[in-house]
Amino acid sequence: MKHNNDTITSTLIEDRRFAPPKAFAARAHLRDPAAAKALRESAAADPEAYWRQAAREELRWSKPFTQGLDWSNAPHAKWFADGELNVSDNCLDRHCEGGRVHKAALIWEGEPLDGNEPEVRTLTYGQLRAQVQKAAQVLQRLGVQVGDRVAIYMPLIPEAAIAMLACARIGAVHSVIFGGFSAESLRDRIQDAGAKLVITADGGWRRGQALRLKDVVDEALGHGTHGVQNVLVVQRTREDIAMQPGRDHWWHEHMEAAKAVGKPVAVPAEHPLFILYTSGTTGKPKGILHTTGGYLTHVTRTFKQVFDIRDDDLYWCTADVGWITGHSYVVYGPLAAGATVFLYEGAPAFPDKNRFWDIIERHRISIFYTAPTALRTFMSWGEAPILKHDLTSLRLLGTVGEPINPAAWVWYHEVIGGGRCPIVDTWWQTETGGILIAPLPGVQECVPGTATLPLPGVLPEIVGPDGEAQPANAGGLLVLKHPWPGMARTIWGDDERFKETYFSRVPGIYFTGDGARRDADGNFWIMGRVDDVLNVSGHRIGTMEVESALVSHPLVAEAAVVGRPDAVTGQALVAFVTLTAGTAQNPELAEALRHHVAHEIGALARPAEVRFAAALPKTRSGKIMRRLLRELAGQGTVSGDTSTLEDFGVLEALRASED
């Protein structure tokens, strides 16, 4: 049987419901639907009480809290503010003391195949703690103190997680920057956060190539220091790199000199844990700030609920640690829950299209969590590589990052999951810290195309443009009226922007930026962003950022960037560009501009298409009419099932009027 976007149309499967498979439900933690319903109801009646209990049940507190939610300084939530704890204590020490010291915490596989054998490293909870203790000492010796910021620019190797946990152990605040970002983007983020130290690697492996990360750090820091006093360099690819005396240090040399001793530093629950930059509607990325106790409560509780984790699971989330998914559901949630996390450094098609399925088969992965974009790519490769492998170890599948079209959902369920595995479609954002809407597998039906119901203690709503409640099935803005523990606390260094971005569209209420509808069963169907933020391959890209990059090119006069539906990447970037007087339009220049954006921001922001125009369509007041450009960009290029990717009619109505 062949599955592709055309053979299974969304109309055929729209109404299909997938009850928890019997074998799954029989072993699930949550198997009583009535109990789950009661839990949701009691949590909705008193969310604060629900989260207080979660914080006590899920975490070890050095000083117990007496306060729950403090919303007196809204929109700045405080959770468990008089309590104290340490994240690395919760992710490591308590498991070491509680019977998991010899349990694998991380199982990592590198990309290169030496002969046929990949390099595999396993770190038990005890070994991981020892590494983190040493790294914490290294940071302290290099002058990092409580509250200092540390930038992390790394490939996906265990040291990335070790670096994050080491920061948490001493109360330093990390800012992880995805290894695909350019020197320019890296410099902006280092400066904005005021990072004192950078942790990087000589490089990492991707598609058989060594990505030279240290070179990018050197370019970002240039001749100045931008406040950075030290750079720690992990050896990975062993390519030749430049080391600047006094500033640059080899990680392994410092680690050898350190000892695996030292206690975690207890910090107040509202102490900053990390800053993570994400794109918004203006040109400058926002440093989303997450703090300690509420965040860890949220990611630990939701990780257990949504992934139904058991001690014998091997859990693989394919996200890079550079994204929020990597923070919350590769590192912090799973380790706080005492799970075994699988990490893979490289690309899915290296050395060929068998790699992912080979990994699942060899390691006996039981839970697999990835993005719809990846699934649509796998679909386009055909089933042969998958059918060659034994994937029967899988018992639960997840998706995140963008709406999943029903055809891809059903393909995931049938071809990868062999019809045995529930699929958890998890809706959340960098700002929400953790998952807010997702099925509870074991007790709940899964429905292709919807993340289904809010998790206990989470109260999303659909409202109209003026904040009025919407009836079932009417499209509207997705908002949250009640605070939740994982919510962002502010935008680093720009609190006004925090209030303006999230709490002004509907005054006083958190606005997600997404449009959605809720059906008669209460399921949330996410329709996509209603602001000028695009979602390309599950990555959030601000149109203004790409426009700024384009106009920084000397031959560009004006630029407008819009999204068009794409059968694989969800949305694709289309740039409309006018050139400076006398500049000739040609395909080479279009290519050069695409390259320019990749160089300025990173390859993930490279437009799929650059179109030249004599002028951009504008309103009388001079605003670019993006609606027209969106239609133009989308026309005639839509192929395959994009039914849930964007509901243009409704989205257009929700977008601020432009003309």
Cis peptide before 565 (omega within 30 of 0): no
Nearer to ligand WT7 (CB atom), residue 152 or residue 170: 152
d(CA 615, CA 406) in angstroms, rounded, equals: 39
Among 251, 315, 428, 510, binds ligand WT7 (CB under 6 A): 428
Q: CB 281 → ligand WT7: shortest distance, Å?
A: 12
Which 111-130 positions form the footprint of ligand WT7 (CB under 6 A)? none
Among 185, 297, 444, 535, binds ligand WT7 (CB under 6 A): 535
Distance of CA 287 to the CA centre of its chain: 14
d(CA 119, CA 108) in angstroms, rounded, equals: 8
Which 322-341 positions form the footprint of ligand WT7 (CB under 6 A)? 324-325
- If 0-12 CB within 10 Å is exposed, 13-18 middle and 19+ buried, where does residue 523 land? middle
Nearer to ligand WT7 (CB atom), residue 80 or residue 427: 427
d(CA 46, CA 430) in angstroms, rounded, equals: 25
Region for residue 296 given its phi and psi (left: phi exceeds 0; alpha: psi -120 to 50; beta: otherwise): alpha
Distance of CA 433 to the CA centre of its chain: 9
Task: Print the binding letters for residues 451-480 with ligand WT7: x by CB under 6 A, - otherwise.
Answer: x-----------------------------
Q: CB 318 → ligand WT7: shortest distance, Å?
A: 12
Which 273-292 positions form the footprint of ligand WT7 (CB under 6 A)? 278
Which 383-412 positions form the footprint of ligand WT7 (CB under 6 A)? 400-403
Q: CB 212 → ligand WT7: shortest distance, Å?
A: 26
Is residue 427 close enough to count as binding ligand WT7 by CB under 6 A? yes
The interface region with ligand WT7, picked from 1-9, 78-86, 104-112, 525-533 by CB under 6 A, is: 525-533
Helix (H) / strand (E) element for 204: namely strand 204-206
Is residue 430 close enough to count as binding ligand WT7 by CB under 6 A? yes
Q: CB 512 → ligand WT7: shortest distance, Å?
A: 6
CA dihedral 344, 349, 353, 357 (to 10 degrees): 10
Nearer to ligand WT7 (CB atom), residue 294 or residue 433: 433
Beta-carbon contacts of 623 under 8 Å, excluding residues fewer than 6 positions away, are 658, 659
Nearer to ligand WT7 (CB atom), residue 244 or residue 504: 504
The interface region with ligand WT7, picked from 74-82, 150-158, 162-170, 509-517 by CB under 6 A, is: 509-517
CB 17 within 8 A of CB 428: no
Nearer to ligand WT7 (CB atom), residue 540 or residue 606: 540
Amino acid identity at 110: G
| The two three-digit tokens of residue 59, written as one number | 């975490």
Is residue 514 close enough to count as binding ligand WT7 by CB under 6 A? yes
Pure H helices in 264-371: 293-307, 324-326, 333-336, 355-363
Q: CB 529 → ligand WT7: shortest distance, Å?
A: 5
Nearer to ligand WT7 (CB atom), residue 403 or residue 442: 403
Is residue 320 close enough to count as binding ligand WT7 by CB under 6 A? no
Nearer to ligand WT7 (CB atom), residue 366 or residue 430: 430
* β 423-426/396-400 pair status: parallel
Q: What is the 3-state secondary structure (H, E, C) of 64-115?
A: CCCCCEECCCCCCCEECCCCEECHHHHHHHHHHHCCCCCCEEEEEEEEEEEC
d(CA 221, CA 177) in angstroms, rounded, equals: 14
Q: CB 189 → ligand WT7: shortest distance, Å?
A: 15
Is residue 306 close enough to count as binding ligand WT7 by CB under 6 A? no
Task: Print the binding letters for residues 435-454 with ligand WT7: x by CB under 6 A, - otherwise.
Answer: ----------------x---
CB 122 within 8 A of CB 216: no
d(CA 386, CA 355) in angstroms, rounded, equals: 10
The interface region with ligand WT7, picked from 163-171, 524-532, 602-610, 613-621 by CB under 6 A, is: 524-532
Q: CB 355 → ligand WT7: shortest distance, Å?
A: 23
Nearer to ligand WT7 (CB atom), residue 90 or residue 432: 432
Among 148, 425, 545, 647, binds ligand WT7 (CB under 6 A): 425
Cis peptide before 372 (omega within 30 of 0): no
Among 297, 426, 444, 569, binds ligand WT7 (CB under 6 A): 426
Residue (of 431, 400, 155, 170) closest to 277 by Cα position? 431
Residues forming contacts to ligand WT7 in the complex (CB under 6 A) are 278, 324-325, 400-403, 425-430, 451, 512-514, 526, 528-529, 535, 540
